[in-house]
């Protein structure tokens, strides 16, 4: 795709969306239209220095499109309600299902290629595995309203007779990296660990409440946001077969490893205390996730992913320790 292409990024003030805008700028793409809820002042630094041509409030986006009929070459729909502790499903329904359907329908009507953010939260407890084949979403039982909403949209997309000329739904696994400073409770364990080390010299991790997992050995597929950006960009440039794609590293790692890597980034010995998991998330907690990455690899993506240690080191030393943004 040419550098003068016009690209829309939804959720552009958030963690992944703002990093994506920065990455596109670094590749010479400056004709970027962004949309989000811009009332959050703690997100403003995420967009400082980014090159954009238009900023539109999330709830005004579709009326703006109707009035202006802009010439758009690609849409990255990253915006979503991502709080896994928000149990009011109507909020997830509005932002993660209804809004996403409108984006899809606009891309279909205007023949605009689309990449949208799905989530590994759709996989629930993992009882059906972690394959991104197109039969699985109809069996999955996500553990929280966020995961349910993401899976509902995946199922809806797969059932559409008409679609954008190219589309990819990316099941993001545990993404970490710069520009998540505003996320509070929902920020990565690395962000929390860094702040705990700075304050107390120690890190608190959840105990396991299952006999088959030792404390700190709960396993997740952690992916550095810089790898995620490269995949999004590759999909825009190459547009392989449309469909749902996993986006993790394909290698599950323990939370204890993650925290040890954070201490290593600070050149400190690991000091970890295990605490009880909050009751409100205990029965909705994923103990294991690991992306099956064969589909993306078979489509031609062959870039290596950051290891947990190198990704955490880069994040801690170049962003958290310096307070810099991507």
Question: Does residue 265 contact residue 312 with C-beta atoms inside 8 Å?
Answer: yes
176 is catalytic: no
Residue 189 backbone dihedrals phi, psi, to 5 degrees: -60, -30
Contact residues for 174 (Cβ-Cβ < 8 A; gap 6+): 120, 188, 220, 221, 222, 223, 248, 289
Q: Which of 99, 116, 123, 146 is catalytic?
A: 146
146 is catalytic: yes
Q: Which of 183, 226, 230, 251 is catalytic?
A: 183
Contact residues for 80 (Cβ-Cβ < 8 A; gap 6+): 11, 95, 96, 100, 117, 150
Tokens matching residue 308? 């947990």
Would you say the C-alpha torsion 226, 166, 154, 31 has a positive or negative sign?
positive
Taking the chain, what is the end-to-end CA distance rounded to the nearest angstrom? 23
Q: Which residues pair with 219 in a beta bridge?
A: 254, 288
**How many residues would you count in the chain?**
326
Would you say the C-alpha torsion 282, 283, 288, 291 has a positive or negative sign?
negative
- Dump strand ranges (E) for the chain: 7-10, 32-36, 54-57, 74-77, 114-119, 167-172, 174-176, 203-206, 219-220, 222-224, 243-247, 253-254, 272-275
Tokens matching residue 224? 């550095």
What CA–CA distance (Å, rounded) separates 205 from 36? 32
Residue with tokens 């990819």: 168
Residue 156 backbone dihedrals phi, psi, to 5 degrees: -60, -45
Task: List the catalytic residues.
Answer: 146, 183
């Amino acid at each position: 795709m040419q550098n003068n292409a016009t690209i829309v990024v939804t959720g552009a003030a958030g963690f992944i969306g703002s990093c994506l805008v920065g990455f596109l700028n670094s590749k010479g793409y400056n004709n970027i239209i962004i949309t989000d809820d811009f009332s959050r002042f703690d997100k403003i630094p995420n967009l400082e220095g980014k090159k954009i041509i238009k900023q539109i409030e999330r709830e005004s986006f579709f009326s703006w499109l109707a009035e202006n009929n802009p010439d758009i070459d690609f849409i990255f729909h990253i915006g979503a309600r991502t709080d896994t502790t928000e149990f009011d499903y109507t909020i997830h329904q509005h932002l993660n299902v209804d809004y996403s359907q409108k984006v899809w329908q606009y891309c279909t009507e205007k023949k605009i290629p689309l990449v949208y953010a799905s989530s590994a939260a759709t996989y629930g407890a993992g009882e059906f595995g972690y394959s991104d084949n197109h039969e699985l979403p109809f069996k999955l039982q996500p553990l929280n309203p966020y995961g349910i909403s993401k899976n509902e949209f995946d199922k809806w997309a797969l059932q559409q007779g008409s679609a954008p000329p190219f589309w990819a739904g990316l099941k993001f696994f545990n993404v970490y990296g710069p520009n998540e400073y505003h996320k509070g409770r929902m920020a990565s364990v690395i962000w929390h660990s860094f702040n705990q080390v700075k304050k107390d010299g120690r890190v608190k991790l959840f105990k396991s409440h299952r006999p088959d997992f030792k404390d700190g050995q709960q396993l997740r597929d952690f992916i550095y946001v810089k790898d995620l950006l490269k995949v999004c960009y590759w999909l825009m440039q190459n547009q392989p077969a449309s469909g749902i794609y996993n986006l993790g590293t394909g290698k599950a790692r323990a939370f204890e490893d993650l925290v040890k890597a954070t201490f290593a980034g600070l050149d400190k010995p690991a000091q970890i205390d295990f605490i009880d998991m909050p009751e409100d998330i205990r029965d909705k907690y994923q103990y294991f996730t690991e992306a099956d990455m064969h589909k993306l690899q078979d489509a031609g993506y062959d870039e290596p992913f950051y290891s947990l240690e190198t990704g955490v080191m880069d994040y801690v030393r170049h962003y958290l320790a310096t307070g810099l943004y991507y």
